[in-house]
Amino acid sequence: MGIVRAVGNHLERDGELFVPWGVNHFWPRTGWAPQLWKTYDPAKAERDFAKLAELGCNVARVFGTWQSFCSSETEINTEGFDKFDSMLEIAWKHGIMLHPTGPDHWEGFPAFMDGEANYIQAEPLLRAAENYWHEMATRYRNDERIFAFDLLNEPSVRVDSHFLRAWREIAEPKKDPVAWPVDLNSRPKGICDEAKLEAERLRWRLGDAWIGRMCEAIRSTGTETAITVGYLQFTFPFMPLSCGFHLAGGAELLDFISIHFYPGNIGLCTDYRWELDQGALWASYAASFGKPMIFGEFGWLGGNEKPFVSEAGTVSYPPSTQEQSAVWCRDLVEATRPYACGWLCWGSFDVPESRDCTRHSGLLDADGNIKAWGRTFAGLGPRVKAGVPEPNLPMVGFELEPLLLGRVDAYEALDELIYRRRVEGEFSLHEA
C-alpha cells in the first residue's frame, strides 16, 4: 500500500478513500504527562494495539518528546527512535498507522533547553526541532506505516521576550508609546486599532514562519508523507483568546488541517446542542480553506463518579457517566461529518493521574477494559470510514477584524451563527 495523500477535500491511499479513525495513544499509570517512551514495553504495545485494532482504529497519534528523541540541538537520541521503530512495526502488524508529533515537554525538559519553552521562536529549539524532523523524515521517507507528520501538539505564539523583540522593530519607529507600546504585556487601554491588528498579524507571520521551517526540514529529505499540525482550539476566531495562529497561513503550507475540539461548557451539558453546533462551525471554518480537515483530538469525560478540579484550579469537572461521554462523542462525529474527513479521539486509555478530561476520556479504562465510548466507537467506525464529506454546502461569511479588535463579542456572534445554523441547516463558515 502507498502513503496517504490529500485529494480535494479528503484523503486517499492507493487511489481509494482513506478516513483516519483512531486515537491519541499513551499509557496510564506512568504519571502525568504519560511517560510513553521512558516506560516503553514491546509486550504492552503488542497488547494495546491488538485491542485498538479490535475497536476499528486505523491511526494512532503518538507524542515525540525532547527527552527521548533529542540529545542536543544537533544530535538525535537513537534510543528514542529505536523504540519508535518497535512501536511502528507492532502497530502496523495490527493494521494501524502511526501519526508522530513534534518533540514536546511530556517527559520534561533536557539540559540543553536551559529552561527555554518557546518552541516557535527560540532559535536553539527551532534548530533542534528541525533536526528531529529531518531525522524522522529521512528514516521514514515515504513509509506506508506513517499516516502523516504532525509538527507539534497545539502550538502557540506567546507574547514573551522573543515576540517583543520582533514587535520592537515595528513599534519603535511609530514614536507613540501609548498607541504603539513596545511592551504589549502591559498595553494601555488606549492602544490604537492599527497596533492591535498589527500585533496579531505579527503573531501569524511568526507562526507561519515556524511552520515553513519545519515543513522545509521534512520536505528537504524528498519525502511525500503528508504534513499537518495539531491546532489549538483557540485558533478558532470566535474563541475569547488567541493562540497566535491563523489557518489561512497553515493551509498554504500544510497538506491537511488538523483541529482539536472539546466542550467549552464544562459538564455535558449546560447546552448540549450548543456544543455540537460550535464543533460543527469550527469544522466548517477549517474546511473552508480548501484542504482536507480532520479532528486530531476530541473527547470528554466518561465515568468520573465525583467532581474534581483542574490542576490549575480554574475548572471544576462535575460527575459524568460513560454513556454520556459516548453519546457526546458520537454526536460530535455525526455533526461534523459534512466537513471533516477523519477523527482521532482523546485518548486510548483513561489516565487517573491527569487533572483534566484525560482522566476519564479513554476508549479503554486504565486497566484496559472497553468503555461505553469504546463500544460506540467500534460500532460507528465502519459507517464513518465508508463515507465522504458533503460537497458544495452554502457559504456564510463573517468579518474577522471586528472579532480581533473586540468590537463584537465573540460568543454573541457565535450564538447568532448557531441560531442561523439551526434555522437554515448546514453551511460552511468562512472569512468574508
pLDDT tens digit string along 315-356? 778 888 999 999 999 999 999 999 999 999 999 999 999 988
- Closest of 80, 77, 75, 71 to residue 37, by C-alpha: 80
**pLDDT (0 to 100) of residue 334:** 95
pLDDT value at 270 more than 60: no
64-79 confidence digits (pLDDT tens)? 999 999 999 999 999 9
Question: In the block, which residue shows the cell 528514516?
Answer: 139
pLDDT given for residue 24 in this prediction: 98
Q: Match domain 4-158+217-394 to its CATH number in 3.20.20.80, 3.40.50.300, 3.40.50.720, 3.30.360.10.
A: 3.20.20.80
Q: How confident is the model at residue 211 (pLDDT cuts 50, 70, 90)?
A: very high
User: How much is the pLDDT for 355?
Assistant: 87
The pairing of strands 316-317 and 308-309 is antiparallel
Residue-wise pLDDT tens digits, 418-432: 999 999 999 999 999
Return the minimum-mean-pLDDT range out of 39-43, 139-143, 272-276.
Answer: 272-276
* For range 75-88, the mean pLDDT: 97
> In which band, very low, low, confident or very high, does the pLDDT at 189 lie, cut at 50, 70 and 90?
confident
pLDDT band of 265, cuts 50, 70, 90: low
What Å distances lie between residue 14 and 17, 220, 227, CA to CA? 8, 24, 18
Bridge partners (DSSP) of residue 309 are: 316
In the predicted model, is pLDDT for residue 34 greater than 80?
Answer: yes
pTM above 0.85, yes or no: yes
Q: 242 is written with which cell numbers?
A: 488567541
What rounded mean pLDDT belongs to the chain?
A: 93
Domain boundaries, the chain: 4-158+217-394
- Reference 166, options 137, 193, 200, 142; nearest CA is 200
Contacts of residue 350, defined as CB under 8 A and 6 or more positions apart, other chains included, come to 28, 303, 358, 359, 360, 361, 362, 364, 365, 366, 371
Mean pLDDT of 23-45: 96
Task: Give the confidence band of 1 by pLDDT, cuts at 50, 70, 90.
Answer: low
> How much is the pLDDT for 271?
62
Task: Determine what percent of the chain is predicted with pLDDT higher than 90.
Answer: 84
**What percentage of the chain has pLDDT greater than the value 70?**
98
Q: Please report the pLDDT score of residue 190 as a whole number.
A: 86
| Average pLDDT, integer, range 373-394 | 92
Which three-class secondary structure string do you get for 104-134? ECCCCCCHHHCCCCCCCCCHHHHHHHHHHHH
